[in-house]
Structure 1
Amino acid sequence: MGALSIWHWLILLVVVALVFGTSKLKNVGKDLGGAIKGFKEGMKEAQDEFEDKPVAKESSIEKK
C-alpha cells in the first residue's frame, strides 16, 4: 500500500474531470497559471529593486 501508483492517479484524474467538468478544470488551471505568473513578476520586481539600490559605502575609518 502506501504510495499511489500511476493508475491510481489516472483514475483520480478521470473522477475529478467527471465531477467538475473539463471547462471548470480549464478555468482553475488558467487562474493558477495567472497566479504563478503574477508571483514570478513580483519576485522579479523585488529582485530588480533590491539590485538597483546603491550599496552603502564603507566608512572612512582609517586602519592603524
Structure 2
Amino acid sequence: MGFSIWQILIILVIVILLFGTKKLRNMGGDLGAAIKGFKKGMDDDDKQKENEKEKQADQKLTQDEQKGETIEGEAEHEKEKTK
C-alpha cells in the first residue's frame, strides 16, 4: 500500500504551509551539516585507528630490534669467554 503522487504533493503543500519555505530551508541546511559532521567524525575515527595500529607496529619493531641487539651482544660476550 504505497502513496500516490497526489498524496505526496498534498502532504508537501501542507508541510510548506505549516513551516514556511525559509524554516524548511534552514532545517535542510542543519540536516546537511549534521550529516557532514557525522561523516567527518567517522573518517577521523578511522584515521585514529590506523595511527594506533602504526604505532603498535613501530613499537613491536623497536622491541624486536632491541632483542636482536641483546642476543648479538651476548654472542660476542660468549666468544670472548671461549678465547
Report if TM-score (shorter chain) is over 0.5: yes
Give structure 2 stretches of 5+ with no counterpart: 61-83
Residue 27 of structure 1 and its aligned partner are, at CA, apart by: 0.7
Q: Report the counterpart of residue 40 of structure 1 in structure 2.
A: 39
Q: Report the counterpart of residue 23 of structure 1 in structure 2.
A: 22
Residue 51 of structure 1 and its aligned partner are, at CA, apart by: 1.4
1:20-50 CA distance string (max 9 Å, x none): 1000101110110110010000000001111
Residue 8 of structure 1 and its aligned partner are, at CA, apart by: 1.3
Residue 6 of structure 1 and its aligned partner are, at CA, apart by: 2.2
Residue 7 of structure 1 and its aligned partner are, at CA, apart by: 2.1
Q: TM-score scaled by structure 1? A: 0.76
What is the aligned-residue RMSD (CA, Å)?
A: 1.8
Letter in 1 for 2:27: V
Bigger drift between 47-56 and 23-32 goes to 47-56
Paired-residue identity, %: 54
Residue 9 of structure 1 and its aligned partner are, at CA, apart by: 1.2
Give structure 1 stretches of 5+ with no counterpart: 58-64
Between the aligned partners of 2:3 and 2:33, the Cα distance in structure 1 is 29
Structure 1 stretches of at least 4 aligned residues deviating more than 2 Å after TM superposition:
54-57
**Using CA pairs below 8 Å that are at least 6 residues apart, which structure has the higher relative contact order?**
1
Paired positions, count: 57
Q: TM-score scaled by structure 2? A: 0.60
